[in-house]
Amino acid sequence: MPRGQDVPQEDVPGTVTGARRALADAVRFVRDAGTAEALARVPRAPAGLARHLEFTHAALAVTGDVRDVVDALVGLGVAVHAPGEAHVVRGRVEGCPRGLEVAVLPGPAADGHRLVFTATTEDDVLLRGLHATLLDAGLRPDGGHHDGDATSLRFRGPTDVELRLPGPRPALLARHVGPPDRPQRAMLDLMTGAWRTRAVAAVAELGVADLLADGPRTTADLAARTGALESRLHRLLAFLAALGVFHRDGDRWSLTDVGAMLRRDAEGSQRDLARIYGGLFYRSFTGLEHTVRAGGSAFEHVHGVRPFEHFAANPADARLFEGAMAAGTSFLDLVPRLLDLPERGTVVDVGGGDGRLLGAVLGAGPGLRGIVFDRPHVVCAGRRVLDELGCGDRAEVVAGDFFHDPVPAGADLYLLSRIMHDWADESCSVILRNVRAAMPRGAVLALVERPIREDRPSSLPLAFNVHMMVNTVEGGERTTEQHRNLLAANGLTLEDVRDLPLDMAVLVARATG
């Protein structure tokens, strides 16, 4: 239900202002919203679900006196049933088939609401699909029950949802509520996450996925080819097969689509990511408690030097890091279609590295010219990459430091891809001011980042926020609002956030003033 609408206090007599507004909003929403409109209040829930659901009522928790709440609902045109023992007021809103359930709570102000949908099908397959789709939308199981006529499954999220299914559905209810030891299992699963990380890293180091590229192999064959002990390799493969990395057929192993990402030659291969996340960066996480207590970089605390000092002194790790970073760039090919590219003009990729993103943009805009701007030792590969991508004749490489040197001026579009999350606000402000100084009025800046979004619940940006705290000196992910404020403080207005895979996004900002 929508919140925060201005409702005159006299519209809802007899209760406190906050509850007044909440009741009025709820009644208005129940009266006016159909199933599609109600479903739109559930972030990430596909609109197509409305074909199999009916929005039947809303539930609301407020603080106040039961008598005052009843009087307020009557004044809003609700036919109220007598309150139950638990101080739950139910009623039907006049002029529509939907109802409203209000829990009146004592004590400090309550704030909660839930939308209730009833499935319009009895098909078990479709009901399982509805349940799975709501989980995929980021909602979390929050209990359920069977009341004789229907089975209710509750979900918690930015908007709480109750899904009512016709008749008893014991199997789906058990799946939703989970076994009696669910909390213990969930905590054990969290605590053993390190085992999964190291298991994936181990088979990546052994090159098992490459050996399975041509088809299934036995444990003995894989052990002989990797120099591993057969019985111990079998344990490792069995564990990873249970996690969906391999298919198991007796003692023969083959790749799943997940496991195929560990092949060296896979498009977007994550082999080097697995190796560095399960190796160098894995060891950095032993310093997590230190950085939470004392600040600073956990990497530096554990390894004795800052990350890029370590890479300068350890060429093998530097090559691994470069491979790992390349593994995370597969989404860059999708960036150009999210940009409003002019037919002609200039694009500057600030901190553009080897020029792959600029190459993708120039490939999508044949009338554009481009500039890669980065430090001299970084851009040395840019010319070769841009030539390989077929756009070298429309691009140039300019060496410079975005903290100290002028950014190439007068372009129509500027790019900053995965730069902001490396730096604290003060450093980012220096970068943004230098970019803004180069931008003519109306020019666009596109940030490619992994924002933390309240409207898009996901643990991945939050996980990377901790990763950046551990393995960089200043880095961290930001919320969309933090990006907005940082841009505004440096003469730029955030206009849009456009989604990319893996919770990445293009944040489109425009020069102002």
Active site residues: 421
The pair of three-digit structure tokens given for residue 165, joined into one six-digit string: 């299914």
Instruction: Say if strands 368-374 and 345-350 run parallel, antiparallel, or are unpaired.
Output: parallel
Q: Do strands 150-156 and 140-146 pair parallel, antiparallel, or not at all (unpaired)?
A: antiparallel
Phi, psi (5° rounding) for residue 473? -85, -40
For residue 407, give the DSSP letter.
P
Buried b vs exposed e over 251-264: b needs ≥16 C-beta within 10 Å?
A: ebbebeeebbbbbe
Compute CA distances 289 → 22, 122, 299, whole Å. Answer: 42, 51, 12
Based on the number of CB atoms within 10 Å of its own CB, is 212 exposed (0-12), middle (13-18) or buried (19 or more)? buried
Strands (E), 224-319: 246-249, 252-255
Q: Label each residue of 79-121 as H, E or C.
A: EECCCCCCCEEEEEECCCCCEEEEEEECCCCCCEEEEEEEECC
Q: How many CB atoms lie within 10 A of CB 19?
A: 25
Residue whose C-alpha is closest to residue 387's, from 350, 364, 356: 356
Determine the Cα–Cα distance for residues 213 and 292; give it in Å rounded to an integer: 42
Confirm if 352 and 372 have CB atoms less than 8 A apart.
Answer: yes
**How far is Cα 72 from Cα 417, in angstroms, rounded to an integer?**
53
Q: Which residues is 415 bridged to in the sheet? A: 349, 446
Residue whose token pair is 């949908």: 117
